[in-house]
Every structure is written in C-alpha cells, then in structure tokens.
Amino acid sequence: MRKYRVGLLCIVFSLVCSREIPVMGKKNATRENKEKWEKFYDSVPELKYLSPNVRYEIRVKRIIDSRFDNFSEEKYQALYKQISDDIGYYLGYNVSLKDVGSEDIIHFFRKQRKVFKQPWFQYMIGQHFLHLDRDEDRRRLHKTIEKAVTDTPWEILKLYITDKEIKNKDIPAITEYFYSRFLTKYSAIGNIKGNVKYILRQGEYELTQHYTYWSAALYATSEADLFITNSIIAGADDQMPLYVINRGGITSGITENNLHNKFQGAIVLTLMPFISGDSYFNSARGNIYDSLLLPVISMMAVHEFGHLLHRYDEYYDLPATPQNAPVDLKYQDWYQHIIDGKMYSGPIRTLKKY
C-alpha cells in the first residue's frame, strides 16, 4: 500500500513538476529579476590573491553528451597530466588534477534546474540568450554585432575579415559581413551530426550548449573546479565578443565566479571543437596533428587557468600568449605562435570579478 502511494505521488509529481531544464527568454528578464541579479552580483566577493607557493588540488568532472565522440580513459589521463604540467610551466602554479567522476550532460543540467530558476539567473539567462527562431532576437543579434564592430579598432577587425572588398572601418558593411557569416556558421554548427540520427542543437540539448546556462551552473556548483565536456558551447547571446561572433557562437571554455570553492571560480572546457571530425570543423579548424592534440587542448586549459589562478583578464590583441583568444578555430596556429617563443612579457590586466 505504502509503495503504491509513493508510486502514485511520483506520477502526480511528474505531471505537475517538469524535470526538464527550464527555458528562459526575454520574459524572464523582468525589472524585478534584474534588480535581484545586480544585488546578487554585488554580493559576490572580490577575487583574492592565490599564492603560487601552495600546491592546489583541482577537482575535475567530465560531462558527457553520449551522442558525440569522446576521449578514452587513457586520453583523459594523459590530458590531465599535460594540463597540470603546463599550468606549472606557463603559469607557475603547482597543481594536481583529481578526477571526481562523470555525468550525462542532460542529467547534470536537469539537476541544476533550481539554480536556473533563481530570479537572478532567470534574469541573466533570459536577458542574454538569443533564440534565433524569433525575429526580435535576430534583430538583437544584429545590434550585438554592430556594437562589437563599433567597439573594435580597425587593426583588430581586419584580422577577422577575409573579404578583400572591405578596406576600412565601414560599420554597416562590416556588421552585415559578420551577421551573415554568423547565421551561416550558427546553422551549420547546429546541424552537425552525432551518432546515427542526432544533430547537435536538438531539443533540450540546445540549453546545455549555451554560455548562460553553463555560467549559472559554474556559479552554483560545489561538485568540481574544472568541468570537461565532449560537447560544445555554441549559441547566440547579446554579449558575444567579436572572436566568438566570428566563430558562429563557439566558446572554447569559460571561467566563471564560483560561490563555494577556494578558487572563487570554476571552469568548463569543451572538447568538441578540438576533436570533432565533422566536416564543419575540418574546414573551420583544419587538421590538428595527432601529436599536438593534447598540447593544444591543454594550452586552452592554460588560458582558462590564467583567468582562474592569476585572475587574468580577457585579451584579443596581445601578441601570441595563452591569454590571447585564438582567431576563429585556428587552434594549432595559435598554439604554434605561443611555443615559438613570442610570449608577451609585459603586465597583464587582472580582474576583481569574472
């Protein structure tokens, strides 16, 4: 009888309370929620100095999208070793990576649904997430791109423009250039095929690929300091910097504030842009030599750990250094410039909060 009642309760519960990842849009970005977001962000403590004279343990968790290629256990272990060595070499911190297990990506995100429903994260996600099947959000995308173009000096813009017709900072022309490129790439990425019948941006999976959802999860998690997913972060939001716009929305990794760990921050690193053999990636990224694959991914981890351990700011315009974001998906060229010894040695800006 007791069992029967529990069963019945579960059925009623599942009918009333969806376990799915909640979808947030502009309607969630109310004035009230905005105030709560501002209060929340103000309440996040400023980042403290992390002494390089201490050995740090980094808890690593793998978040798996089973529809797509993943590393073998052996490869993960080799990657962990490479990352901890490189953090020592490039950043001067002594760290060890400790595996704390793996979880299915949908399961992981559903588990955070209470986090996503907190008013401040409803605002953060709802305000910035662009649902490109909606006209209004396409207009917002256009504005986002126009702003990024306006804010970027011509010397940097021209690094991203392959159209030889554009010879100076003509804002409307350059905005159109990036807008149409963005839509083409965004759609190509969303249609990347997984095992058998799956495409990348499908149903609930779309939310697991979005910058804002990962950002909220990183704020709130107490499970790990570094997440590695074989999935991707590739969506549209109204805060994309130019180098993300140029890649059709792809972000290789995120370092975000964290409310629980000693680093006051947590990282997600994505593998798909590096390991996918899909034709989109093969042409946008090119071939990465087998022997360089782990070092290249590890250099991306060094970039994120530069944010996390040294509190480094984001850079788009330094000469080759791990803190400079790679242009497009040319990870191997970016890596090559860094190890060719063109490392920037001047002072690097730091952050008070991510």
Please report, as ranges, the residues that interact with Zn ion according to CB under 5 A: 314
Displacement of CA 195 from its chain's centroid (Å)? 23
Is 69 or 314 the residue whose CB approaches Zn ion more closely? 314
Is 175 or 270 the residue whose CB approaches Zn ion more closely? 270
Is 122 or 324 the residue whose CB approaches Zn ion more closely? 324
Cβ 323 to Zn ion shortest distance, Å: 7
- Give the list of residues 6+ apart from residue 97 with CB closer than 8 angstroms, or none: 58, 60, 80, 83, 84, 226
Strand partners, 129: 237
DSSP state of 276: -
Calculate the CA dihedral of residues 21, 22, 24, 28 and round it to 10 degrees: -150
Cβ 303 to Zn ion shortest distance, Å: 6
Residue 262 near residue 221, CB atoms below 8 Å: no
Cβ 297 to Zn ion shortest distance, Å: 15
Cα-based distances in Å from 283 to 274, 276, 278, 287, 339? 12, 11, 9, 8, 24
Cβ 209 to Zn ion shortest distance, Å: 18
Cβ 252 to Zn ion shortest distance, Å: 8
Is 69 or 333 the residue whose CB approaches Zn ion more closely? 333
Residue nearest to Zn ion (CB): 314
Is 170 or 314 the residue whose CB approaches Zn ion more closely? 314
Strand partners, 99: 60
